[in-house]
Amino acid sequence: MTAVIYARFSSHNQTEQSIEGQLKTCYEFAQKNGYTVVGEYIDRAISGTTDARPDFLRMIDDSAKKGFQYVLVYQLDRFARNRYDSATYKAKLKKNGVRVLSARENITDDASGILVEGLLESMAEYYSAELAQKIRRGMDINAEKCLCTGGNIALGFKVAPDKHFVVDEDTAPIVVKIFEMYASGKTVVQICETLNAQGIKTSRGVPFNKNSLRKMLQNKRYIGVYTYKDKEIPGGMPRIIEDDLFYQVQEIMGKNKKAPAHAKARQEYLLTTKLFCGKCRDMMTGIKGNSHTGRAYYYYKCNSAKQKKCSKKAVQKDYIEDLVIEECRKQLTPANIDKIAREVVALCEREKDTSGLKRIEKLIRENERKQRNLMNAVSECEIESVRKSLYEEISRISAEHDALKSEYAIEKAGTVSLTITEVKFFLSQLRKGNADDISYRKTLINVFVNAIYLYDDRMVIFFNSGDKPVTVDDELLSQTEEGDGFVFGSGCSTSSKIPATVPFPASPKTALWREFLRFHPRPAALGSRAAGFRAAPGSFYQ
Is 0.85 topped by the overall pTM? Answer: no
- Pick the range with the lowest mean pLDDT from 144-158, 437-451, 467-481: 467-481
Sign for the CA dihedral angle at 188, 190, 192, 195 comes to negative
Q: Select the more confidently predicted residue: 123 or 483.
A: 123
Length of the chain: 542
Using alpha carbons only, what angle is made at residue 218 by residues 175 and 259, rounded to the nearest 5 degrees?
140
Chain segment 183-194, per-residue pLDDT in tens: 988 889 999 999
463 phi/psi in degrees, rounded to 5: -95, 150
The domain 2-105 having CATH identifier 3.30.450.20: the answer here is no
99 phi/psi in degrees, rounded to 5: -115, 150
Chain segment 150-181, per-residue pLDDT in tens: 778 899 999 988 889 999 999 999 999 999 99
**What is the pLDDT, as a whole number, of residue 115?**
62
472 phi/psi in degrees, rounded to 5: -110, 115
Average pLDDT score over the chain: 75
Class of domain 144-254: alpha beta
CA distance 341 to 106: 20
Q: Which of 219, 190, 186 is nearest to 203 (CA)?
A: 219
Give the list of residues 6+ apart from residue 324 with CB closer than 8 angstroms, or none.
271, 445, 449, 452, 461
Exposure string for 463-481, b = 16+ CB within 10 A, e = fewer: bbbbeebeebeeebeebbb
Q: Select the more confidently predicted residue: 304 or 471.
A: 304
Strands (E), 30-139: 36-44, 70-73, 99-102
Please tell me the chain's helix, strand, coil percentages from 3-state DSSP, rounded to the nearest 5.
50, 15, 35
**What is the pLDDT, as a whole number, of residue 137?**
74
Sign for the CA dihedral angle at 131, 132, 133, 137 comes to positive
